[in-house]
Amino acid sequence: MMKRLFHHYRKRSRQVEAERHTKLENVAPRPSGKEGGRFHLSTKEAVRRFRAHALVEEKSHRDVVRVGLKDSVWSDLYHHALTASWPAFAAIAVVSYVVLNLVFALLYMVAPNQITGLSHGTLLSLFFFSVQTLSTVGYGTMSPIGAYANAIVSIEVFVGMMLTALATGVVFARFARPRARLMFSNIAVISNEGGIPALCIRIANLRMSVILSVDIEVALSRLVMSDNGHLVRKFDQLLLMQSHVPVLRFAFVMAHVITPDSPLHGKTVAELEGEEAEIIVTVTGTDEALGQTVFARTAYRFDRVQHNHRFVDIVLSRPDGRITVDYTRFHDVEAH
């Protein structure tokens, strides 16, 4: 029953999202600018172009298709090697290793009689001979005896030493990359305690070591129509009550008070959703154990903002004087 309700809710949410985008796209273009009759980029075209930016901070920049840029792997090989996922990195490394050894095995096939100890001069034997040569590991069974074979072996040994150094450096760099194990709350809340509305988001440090000198920045990203009729994305900073945290041990709730000067003041949820608005959060700090700068980011659409709610308290005191942090209730909220 619960599973059926969940699927129904998800289907309905997708329908509402599609209807909202359809309404935006059906807006007719309007003349604007000093030239009067000239039509600038229509709302329909602009929405199609800017919809790629929606949720880009929450998901990944890979959701944006860039046209006109040469993003070749060879032009930025080191960056691609660092940012690729571990399964993709391992798969590429294994395939490259096999292909490279196969290429050298085919070169040895040109003169198989110049390799001693081969079993029937098969390609498989030459492949394993290439593996031993590339890794500079020799077992004394197979060895080159001719000028051609020794020349290929010399080239392969040099290539093997270079690739070993490069692979070691890339693997070390991947492990040494500073990563902030920060957890953001699944939703944001707007509390209204004391009659003062405030947008609140909770973050938590998941490591045992503390994060020092934490700086938090929150911005409101939305689509607005400029004076010349162009649809542009605007970023407004949301000032926090405390944007700098000297020491982040476990959890912290950032709060933006919605005053008359706030970009959120007087805005309804329907207006914000119509502007493709989202809240972008960036956190930077220094990991005490690593001594390196770490950062994390996320984004919230306004369908993930609950009004008149607050986060439940997850920090409790134990009878022995120690503090308990209940991360199982980290995302829980309560009405007030």
Same domain for 223 and 145: no
Query: Does a structural domain hold residue 23?
Result: no
In the prediction, which pLDDT does 197 show?
92
Same domain for 304 and 163: no
Q: 302 with 278: CB under 8 angstroms?
A: yes
Question: 259 or 49: which carries more pLDDT confidence?
Answer: 259
Same domain for 276 and 172: no
Structure tokens at 198: 């405030």
3-state secondary structure of 76: helix
Provide the residue range defining the domain that includes 319: 182-335
> For residue range 74-123, what is the model confidence (pLDDT) as tens digits?
777 888 888 888 999 999 999 999 999 999 999 998 888 888 888 766 88
Query: Does a structural domain hold residue 230?
Result: yes
Strands 188-191 and 305-307: parallel
Return the closest-CA partner of residue 17 out of 273, 298, 307.
273
In the prediction, which pLDDT does 136 show?
81
Q: How confident is the model at residue 24 (pLDDT cuts 50, 70, 90)?
A: very low
In the prediction, which pLDDT does 172 show?
92
Strands 278-287 and 293-301: antiparallel
- State the pTM of this model: 0.67
Report the half-sphere exposure of 233 (CA within 13 A, side-chain side).
18
Q: What phi and psi values does residue 230 have, to the nearest 5 degrees?
A: -90, 140
Q: 105 with 131: CB under 8 angstroms?
A: no
Q: How confident is the model at residue 55 (pLDDT cuts 50, 70, 90)?
A: very low
Asked which of 131, 148, 176 is the last residue of a domain, the reply is 176
> For residue range 210-231, what is the model confidence (pLDDT) as tens digits?
999 999 999 999 988 888 888 8
* Structural domains counted in the chain: 2
CATH number, residue 215: 2.60.40.1400
In the prediction, which pLDDT does 21 show?
46
Q: What phi and psi values does residue 86 have, to the nearest 5 degrees?
A: -60, -45
Q: 247 with 209: CB under 8 angstroms?
A: no
In the prediction, which pLDDT does 12 show?
52
With a cut of 60, say whether residue 34 has pLDDT above it: no
Amino acid, res. 15: Q
CATH number, residue 158: 1.10.287.70
Residues 15/16/17/20 CA torsion (nearest 10 deg): 120
Amino acid, res. 87: P
Q: What phi and psi values does residue 194 have, to the nearest 5 degrees?
A: 70, 15
> For residue range 151-206, what is the model confidence (pLDDT) as tens digits?
999 999 999 999 999 999 999 999 888 777 899 999 999 998 778 899 999 999 99
Same domain for 204 and 127: no
H helical segments located in 65-178: 77-83, 86-108, 123-134, 147-176
- CB count within 10 Å of CB 251 equals 19
Q: 312 with 334: CB under 8 angstroms?
A: yes
- CB count within 10 Å of CB 122 equals 13
With a cut of 60, say whether residue 42 has pLDDT above it: no
> For residue range 118-152, what is the model confidence (pLDDT) as tens digits?
876 688 889 999 999 998 887 778 888 889 999 99
Q: 125 with 142: CB under 8 angstroms?
A: yes
In the prediction, which pLDDT does 15 show?
55
Query: Does a structural domain hold residue 27?
Result: no
With a cut of 70, say whether residue 23 has pLDDT above it: no
Q: How confident is the model at residue 60 (pLDDT cuts 50, 70, 90)?
A: low
Asked which of 141, 176, 211 is the last residue of a domain, the reply is 176
> For residue range 231-290, what is the model confidence (pLDDT) as tens digits?
888 899 999 999 999 999 989 999 999 999 999 998 888 888 888 899 999 999 999 888
H helical segments located in the chain: 2-25, 43-50, 77-83, 86-108, 123-134, 147-176, 269-274
